[in-house]
Amino acid sequence: MSDEAAASIGHAEYLPLYAQVKALLVKRIGAGGWKPGQMLPSEFELAAEYNVSQGTVRKALNELETDRMIVRRQGVGTFIARHSRDKALYQFFRMVGLDDTRLIPTSVVLSQREQRATREQASLLSLNANAMVHAITRVRSFEGKPAIFERIFVPVDVMPDLSVETHIEMDDEMYVIYQERFGISIVRAIERLAAVAATAEEAKRLDLKPGAPLLEISRVATDVSGRPVELRISRCDTRRNRYAAEVL
């Protein structure tokens, strides 16, 4: 690997060679060097560009595939992963029926506004004090029955022109919108769960009594560079569904 390439990722001497190549590819993807859905150069071409063996490139690509940043199509090539509604739901949506059947939510945005991030929001999104965020409130339903009251916070500096239509059913998942409009791909999310009591507004929107038990899912989603780009607080009515996660 060239000294220039190694220097661009910093502390390269402490990383295995394939990890150095992976870091360079991730940096390039994050900077928009390749767009979602675009085919990557061949292993041979990448090996020549980074002055490493094809085996090293192959191992780096294996890591990217595990991280769901790329998709390999046998006999065709390797592509930057593109979000779709079904893919985003499959990868990140954890609510299932009581019999573990997969649930497909519909979503209606109630409101969107810009506001100053709270101290907690700024901390979770790695923002400076007084940073502005888009605040989106929506309700998600299963088979016409409201089940999730959700608040979404996105840094204005990251997606200045983010806007969604209110009071109509959304066609796309938010992660699809982020990728298609801003070139930002969500690849990881950290979730924390808590038992909470429904507020008056949540109870009204979910057809519950105030104080009814809800499952809160607090999720911070990050892009390919590890930058937090969304905080999502989901308050879920679990009378007819539940949270399920596979631990590997």
Same domain membership, residue 160 and residue 65: no
Same domain membership, residue 194 and residue 96: yes
Interval 117-144: pLDDT, tens: 999 999 999 999 899 999 999 999 999 9
Q: 57-66, 126-135, 147-156, 207-216: lowest mean pLDDT where?
A: 57-66
CATH number of the domain residue 157 falls in = 3.40.1410.10
CATH number of the domain residue 43 falls in = 1.10.10.10
Same domain membership, residue 185 and residue 69: no
What range defines the domain where residue 37 resides?
A: 3-80
Residue 122 CB neighbour total at 10 angstroms? 19
CA distance 202 to 47: 54
User: Which among 159, 16, 36, 17 has a CA at the least distance from the CA of 88?
Assistant: 36
What pLDDT sits at residue 170?
A: 87
Same domain membership, residue 107 and residue 71: no
Choose the final residue of a domain: 21, 52, 80: 80
Split into its structural domains, the chain has a count of 2
